[in-house]
Structure 1
Amino acid sequence: MPEGERPWKTLSRREVVRNRHLNLDAEAVETSTGAVLDPYWIMSYPDWVLVVALTPEDQLVLVRQWRQGAKAWVLEPPGGVMDPGEDACTTAARELREETGYEAGSCRLIGSLWSDPAHNTNRVHVVLAEGAMATGAHDREAGEEMETVTLPVAEAVAGVTRGMFVHAMHLGGLLLALQAAGRIRF
């Protein structure tokens, strides 16, 4: 925190939406300089996991799925919502299996990032899953219209600058995990 500045103060909070996917609150906040912002929108979601899965053949396991906000089919690493009390690697193994039919020999947490620290309360946990092998059928949830795609890591890295990955959080997590796996260097 810069010297002499204080954290923002929440003056009040009004619940606007409550459901299993999203809690939306309208807060009245006072900034460190005394300005009052009302409403200041805060969205609470469960934490998410992003799985960067690599096969022994140096293929990246991805999914192509419909994203209603973008109104497009999007290529991205598999992932999903963490269940209460679940650790990131357990969620990653479950989501990788359910979405792609792959299982990994090892999983490790690479880092945890805020999805949008200005307005969202959740974090995205990036998990590197190595030794991923196709082991069976996927078990997708209703509304998960997707296909499993594998790409050579080099092709995926080359595709970064061509717009192959359009989700900013997914791209950031993918790059962090590929660096941790020794596939790219910053």
Structure 2
Amino acid sequence: MDKILQKPTIYHVETIAQSRLFTIESVNLKFRNGMYKAYERIRPSNHESVMIVPIIDDNLLLIREYNVGIEDYELSFPKGLIEAGEEIMEAANRELMEEVGYGAHTFTLLHRLTIAPSYLSNTMNIVVAQKLYPHKKIGDEPEKLSLVRWPVTQMLALLNEIDFCEARNISALFLTHSWLE
């Protein structure tokens, strides 16, 4: 059995840059072996996010959305932040309505993912949505999102799509595939 690891001691945290969206901190640590190391991270937040894998009529519903980080459109499952006071499934249903134009009667939480834990503290909740019904809500997207139906029987073929390459989407795809088996 592994020994229980002792976390390093944080002895100094300082804001080194700030934008409208992000605060970058320098975090100075002392490890139990006496080594000191400074890291940079985006300030931790309590905000989690949700990614929804909607299934209707034996099809997955995906969106094609512009992502400024890669300066291109990406084929993706709908996703978004969980707002203050919202439960995971409430946020999943809201995001589904805003981005896809459907609500769902059934949600299943598959897994929680951390994203770049060396730099971020964010958690993404992967949720399958079933028993969908039409219901559109206005969201914060600057343009109408393209809706793409993809046969569940061909779901792993999404890996061959050049614009389906974001790690969280691939994780959600494999988690859903395993869950459906």
Asked whether the two chains share a fold, i.e. TM above 0.5, the reply is yes
Q: Contact between 2:156 and 2:173, CA under 8 Å: does it hold in 1?
A: no
Measure, in 2, the Cα distance between the counterparts of 1:41 and 1:144. 34
Per-residue CA shift, 1:89-117, capped at 9, x if unaligned? 11100000001101112012111111122
Q: Partner of 1:76 in structure 2?
A: 76
Contact 2:53 2:127 survives alignment (8 Å)? yes
How far is the alpha carbon of 1:140 from its aligned partner? 2.8
Figure out how many residues of one structure are paired with residues of the other and give that number: 179
Partner-residue secondary structure (3-state), 2:29: strand
Q: Is the 8 A contact 1:66 1:145 kept in 2?
A: no
Secondary structure, counterpart of 1:65 in structure 2: strand
Residue aligning to 1:111: 111
Pick closer, same or farther for the CA change 1:31–1:119 going to 2, 3 Å. farther
Contact between 2:53 and 2:78, CA under 8 Å: does it hold in 1?
A: yes
Runs of 4 or more, structure 1, over 4 Å off, are 17-20, 161-164
Residue 29 of structure 2 aligns to which amino acid in structure 1?
V
* TM-score normalised by the chain length of structure 2: 0.86
Return the offset for 1:158.
Answer: 1.5
Unpaired segments ≥5 residues, structure 1: none
What's 1:47 paired with?
48
Superposed counterparts of 1:125-164, under 5 Å: 125-133=125-133, 135-143=134-142, 146-164=145-163
- The CA RMSD over aligned residues, in Å, is 2.3
**Shift, 1:178, TM fit:** 3.0
Contact 1:5 1:32 in 2 (8 A): no
Counterpart for residue 165 of structure 2: 166
Worse-superposed segment, 105-114 or 67-76: 105-114
| Structure 2: gaps (5+ residues) | none
